[in-house]
């Protein structure tokens, strides 16, 4: 096959961090190539060098067999390379047409009508749907992505690079995107997809190239690969891709949320009339397209978000119900703590909310306990002991307990945060996107930690974005859509499609209410049976082994 792009011995460093080391990789014409690697393995950096965002420190890039210097995205477009970044580069207040027109070669006559006609032709060819008069701020994430793709095609891109295109899409939207990608391939274009999701790689690509810690590991034909092989290449050793799901043991109600509504500062309703219960010894998953109220829900429970009058969050401290429930609404985190409510919260924004980046582990251990004790001075001895024990137990890699945590890698940052939250021996543990950006090993460490808490009888709330993980880890899954509870599903019997549908389509009120009631019953009774079935099906899938060849 003919090569569209060849990279030879490409190296790129940032300070002391080597993002790519001596990578030599080819992209063929007319293929769909998946670039696979864990977070931080240098996938995006590598392709950013082709797209003109970064300039390699060493090595060379050949396009169509000719050596080139790509110094800017414009150079890349001149070579017919277009990249769709994870964070879209669109002007919010412009329409679709205006965004396409932006940055076109000034020699061309600026004629919006002409541009629009040309863009519409592209849409027809690849079966896109696009409203060209709509402003970007009024578009959904999936529409914005489509617009970015049209933009790249308009500029004549023959090689399209998509950086984690499915991270923000629902299963249905992903399927639509894959169709478009196949159309482009049929038209002879090369498509590169950066991803760390194995099943997507297997579903769409022709070939997989794998990076590990910035180095090129190898390429495999997708038809000859399976999940085990790819994971092994990605991580460098065999990984047990099995998330444990013990059956909840005598679940007791720990949290009772009723009619919770939250209005944002701009006066927009972000949560309306949320009601659900959380039981000790279970993991309650919360699914939803990002920005559908997950953040506000957890923040409201943690006392960080003002709640509309009428809502209530009741916390049950005693397992046997001997103590009256405590109301959480109206308390700030400090009051919640001093009232004896044992609630821990691992927020989404680790360094912006959960930790203080400029402080070391010791300083961060003090965050929730610094005001204990009478005196004017802080006690640093106990936090330091705690920091050292967390460092040892969770294997946090850091030069010392006083090294600023912002200098640690994402996985270690999360270990510090989760370690602190668990050390408070919570009764309710809330986590938001607990494994976002973490490598596979750390992710499984976190799942394991959550499961251990669950076995101890902690009520765990897990807000996640990876539906596969939610379906494997959680006992029940609450789906948020448009700030409402759109259904509570049994994690053992539901399917990805069902969850995906609930994420995007708001059910009529009656159906939703009924579903909420049923799910509650189910959680109590049917879990054990479902668990047994689940285990058996899993075993079967594990047993299917396949071999793949490295090219």
Partner 1 sequence: MSNSQIKEPLMRVVKRDGARMREKVAARAAAILLALVLDALFIFFVTGQNPISVYGVMFQETFGTKSRCSWAMRDLVSLLCIGIALAPAFKMKFWNVGAEGQVLMGGLVTALIMVYFGNRLPMPVLFLVMLLTSVAIGAVWGLIPAFFKAKWKTNETLFTLMMNYVATSFVACAVNIMRGQASSLGKLNMGNRAGWFPSVFGQRYNINIIVVIILTFVMYFYLKYTKHGYEISVVGESENTARYAGINVAKVIMRTMAISGAISGLCGFLIVCGRDQTISTTTAGGNGFTAIIVAWLAKFNTFYMALIAFLLVFLQKGAAEIASAYGLNDYAASIITGIILFCILGSEFFINYKVIFRTGKGGKTA
Residues 441 and 435: their CA atoms lie apart, in Å, by 10
Shortest spacing between CB 137 and partner 1, in angstroms: 23
Which is nearer to partner 1, 290 or 332 (by Cβ)?
332
Shortest spacing between CB 430 and partner 1, in angstroms: 12
- Residues 6 or more apart whose Cβ sits within 8 Å of residue 101: 110, 112, 115
Backbone angles phi, psi at 494, to 5 degrees: -80, 170
Write the CA distances from 314 to 256, 311, 330, 465, integer angstroms.
Answer: 5, 10, 12, 27
Which is nearer to partner 1, 69 or 249 (by Cβ)?
69
Q: Could you tell me the two tokens for 408?
A: 């640690």
Virtual torsion, Cα 313, 247, 239, 230, nearest 10 deg: -80
Backbone angles phi, psi at 87, to 5 degrees: -100, 115
Shortest spacing between CB 17 and partner 1, in angstroms: 7
Which is nearer to partner 1, 17 or 138 (by Cβ)?
17
Residues 429 and 539: their CA atoms lie apart, in Å, by 30
The DSSP result for 149-168, as a single string, is HHHHHHTT-SEEEEESTTTT
Q: Could you tell me the two tokens for 414?
A: 């999360």
- Torsion 364-370-376-378 (CA) sign: negative
Closest CA to 343 of 267, 273, 430: 430
Question: What SS3 class is residue 106?
Answer: coil
Residues 353 and 348: their CA atoms lie apart, in Å, by 8
Shortest spacing between CB 332 and partner 1, in angstroms: 6
Q: Residues interacting with partner 1, by CB under 8 A?
A: 13-17, 55, 57-58, 66-71, 75, 78-79, 302-304, 332-337, 345, 347, 349, 351-359, 363, 366-368, 370-371, 376-378, 407
Q: Which residue in the block uniquely carries the two structure tokens 């011995």? A: 9
Shortest spacing between CB 79 and partner 1, in angstroms: 7
Which is nearer to partner 1, 265 or 320 (by Cβ)?
265
Write the CA distances from 415 to 90, 308, 363, 392, 471, integer angstroms.
Answer: 35, 34, 15, 11, 23
Which is nearer to partner 1, 65 or 310 (by Cβ)?
65
Which is nearer to partner 1, 80 or 512 (by Cβ)?
80
Burial class (CB in 10 A: 0-12, 13-18, 19+), 258: middle
Shortest spacing between CB 314 and partner 1, in angstroms: 20
Question: What SS3 class is residue 272?
Answer: strand
Shortest spacing between CB 105 and partner 1, in angstroms: 14
Shortest spacing between CB 338 and partner 1, in angstroms: 9
Which is nearer to partner 1, 55 or 137 (by Cβ)?
55
Which is nearer to partner 1, 350 or 454 (by Cβ)?
350
| CA 306 from centroid of its chain's CA atoms | 26
Shortest spacing between CB 343 and partner 1, in angstroms: 12
Shortest spacing between CB 353 and partner 1, in angstroms: 4
Residue 550 sits at the vertex; the CA angle it makes with 547 and 551, to the nearest 5 degrees, is: 135
Which is nearer to partner 1, 66 or 392 (by Cβ)?
66
Which is nearer to partner 1, 32 or 313 (by Cβ)?
313
| CA 483 from centroid of its chain's CA atoms | 19
């Amino acid at each position: 096959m003919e090569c569209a792009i060849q990279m030879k011995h490409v190296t790129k460093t940032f300070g002391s961090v080597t993002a790519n080391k001596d990578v030599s990789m080819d992209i063929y014409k007319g293929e769909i190539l998946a670039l696979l690697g864990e977070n931080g393995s240098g996938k995006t950096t590598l392709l950013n060098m082709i797209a003109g965002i970064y300039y390699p420190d060493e090595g060379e890039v050949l396009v169509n067999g000719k050596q080139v210097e790509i110094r800017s995205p414009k150079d890349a477009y001149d070579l017919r390379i277009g990249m769709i970044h994870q964070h879209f580069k669109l002007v919010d207040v412009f329409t679709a047409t205006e965004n396409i027109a932006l940055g076109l070669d000034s020699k061309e006559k600026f004629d919006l009508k002409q541009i629009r006609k040309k863009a519409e032709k592209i849409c027809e060819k690849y079966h896109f749907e696009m409203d060209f008069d709509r402003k970007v701020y009024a578009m959904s994430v999936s529409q914005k992505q489509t617009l970015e793709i049209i933009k790249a095609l308009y500029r004549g891109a023959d090689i399209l690079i998509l950086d984690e295109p499915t991270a923000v899409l629902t299963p249905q939207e992903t399927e639509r995107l894959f169709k478009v990608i196949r159309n482009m391939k049929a038209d002879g274009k090369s498509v590169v997809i950066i991803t760390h999701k194995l099943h997507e790689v297997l579903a769409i690509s022709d070939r997989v190239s794998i990076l590990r810690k910035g180095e090129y590991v190898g390429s495999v034909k997708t038809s000859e690969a399976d999940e085990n092989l790819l994971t092994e290449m990605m991580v460098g050793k065999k990984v047990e891709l099995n998330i444990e799901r013990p059956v909840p043991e005598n679940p007791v109600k720990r949290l009772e949320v009723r009619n919770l509504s939250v209005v944002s500062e701009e006066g927009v309703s972000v949560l309306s009339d949320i009601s659900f219960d959380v039981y000790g010894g279970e993991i309650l998953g919360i699914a939803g397209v990002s920005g559908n109220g997950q953040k506000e829900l957890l923040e409201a429970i943690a006392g960080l978000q003002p709640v509309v009058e009428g809502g209530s969050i009741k916390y049950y401290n005693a397992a046997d119900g001997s103590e009256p429930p405590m109301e959480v609404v109206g308390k700030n985190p400090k009051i919640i703590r001093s009232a004896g409510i044992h609630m821990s919260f691992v927020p989404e924004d680790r360094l912006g909310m959960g930790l203080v980046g400029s402080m070391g582990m010791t300083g961060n251990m003090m965050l929730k306990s610094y005001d204990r004790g009478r005196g004017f001075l802080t006690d640093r001895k106990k936090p330091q002991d705690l920091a050292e024990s967390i460092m040892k137990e969770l294997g946090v890699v850091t030069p010392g307990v006083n090294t600023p945590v912002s200098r640690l890698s994402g996985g270690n940052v999360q270990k510090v945060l989760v370690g602190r939250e668990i050390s408070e021996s919570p009764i309710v543990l809330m986590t938001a996107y607990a494994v976002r950006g973490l490598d596979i090993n750390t992710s499984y460490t976190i799942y394991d930690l959550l499961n251990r808490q669950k076995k101890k009888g902690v009520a765990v709330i897990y807000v996640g974005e990876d539906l596969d993980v939610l379906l494997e880890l959680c006992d029940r899954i609450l789906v948020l859509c448009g700030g409402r509870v759109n259904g509570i599903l049994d994690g053992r019997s539901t399917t990805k499609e069902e969850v995906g549908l609930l994420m995007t389509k708001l059910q009529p009120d009656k159906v939703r209410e009924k579903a909420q009631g049923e799910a509650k019953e189910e959680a109590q009774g049917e879990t054990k049976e479902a668990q047994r079935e689940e285990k058996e099906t899993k075993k079967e899938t594990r047993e299917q082994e396949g071999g793949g060849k490295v090219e």
